[in-house]
Amino acid sequence: MSETGQGFIRARSPENRELRRQSILDAAEQLLDKAQVADITLRDIGRQAGIATSNVLRYFENREAVFLELLNREYGAWLDALPAELAPADADSAGPMSSVRGFADAYAASLAARPAMCELASVLASVLERTVSVETVRTYKRQALAGNNRLADIVHARVPDLDRAAAQELASATIVLIAGLWPFAHPGPTVVEAVEDPALLAAHVDFPARYSRMIELLTTSLQTPAAP
């Protein structure tokens, strides 16, 4: 039975409440497969989850709170998968630059394979954090900082020439770089049509290629200089 209208049964136990919250996050994630954040309403999320908007609000204060929690969930899932997706360090490679380039390519490809996470990261500061409560922001930030520390450990293990502080700096730049680059790589229909002009080929943005180059440059600049 649909949970909209009179069919809705409130989850009573903490376990059932968490299951309900996850089902709402699942619905938001499914919608992100077909639309951008700006085009998704709280009513859309409720409809996708099979519950009324008012019942979504029993679990999240607003649409932005749903997406903030989904971003943290996506970020955690990415961190779970990232160690296996990063190319292993190769002592027999063509040199340190080759190793950094392989790391940067794998890092960018791993992110590009997660468009929902990148879409949410691209509107984090401009949309998602703007209309939620102070406590919701604090909860998000605590989880995000813990994730960044975990990411720094992964980066440091993959690129030992980055000391822990440098790995932390690169990890902290991850979301900032996505926020700056993802919208340009996924513009609206007007821009898509405009850059079909052959004279504007340079305006096309290839997200994984451009992101990889930025990570390569940042990683190289942060590496500990070799001892003389």
Q: Picking from 67-81, 87-101, 148-162, 173-187, which range would have the lowest pLDDT averaged per residue?
A: 87-101
Q: What is the pLDDT of residues 174-207, one digit of tens each?
A: 999 999 999 999 988 898 889 888 888 888 889 9
User: Beta-strand (E) ranges in the chain?
Assistant: none
Long-range contacts of 41-44 (CB under 8 A, 24+ apart): 42/66
90 confidence band (pLDDT: 50, 70, 90): low
Q: Model confidence over 130-170: pLDDT tens digits? A: 999 999 999 999 999 999 999 999 999 999 999 999 999 99
Average pLDDT in the chain: 89
pLDDT at position 191: 87
Question: Mind giving me the DSSP string for 30-56?
Answer: HHHTTS-GGG--HHHHHHHHTS-HHHH
Q: What is the pTM of this model?
A: 0.86
Identity of the amino acid at 144 = A
**Cα–Cα dist 90/158, whole Å:** 10
Question: Which of 205, 32, 60, 27 has its CA nearest to residue 118?
Answer: 32
Residues 6+ apart with CB under 8 A from 164: 152, 156
Taken in order of first residue, the domains within the chain and their CATH numbers are: 1-60 (1.10.10.60), 61-222 (1.10.357.10)
How high is the pLDDT of residue 99? 87
227 has a pLDDT exceeding 80 = no
Rounded CA-CA distance 45/53 in Å is: 8
Across the range 84-108, mean pLDDT stands at: 74
**pLDDT band, residue 9 (cuts 50/70/90):** low
- Above 70 in pLDDT, residue 6? no
Distance CA 98, CA 121 (A): 29
Q: Which residues contact 112 (CB under 8 A, 6 or more apart)?
A: 118, 207, 208, 211
Q: Considering only CA atoms, which of 77, 42, 72 is closest in space to residue 60?
A: 42
Give the whole-angstrom CA distance, residue 27 versus residue 116.
12
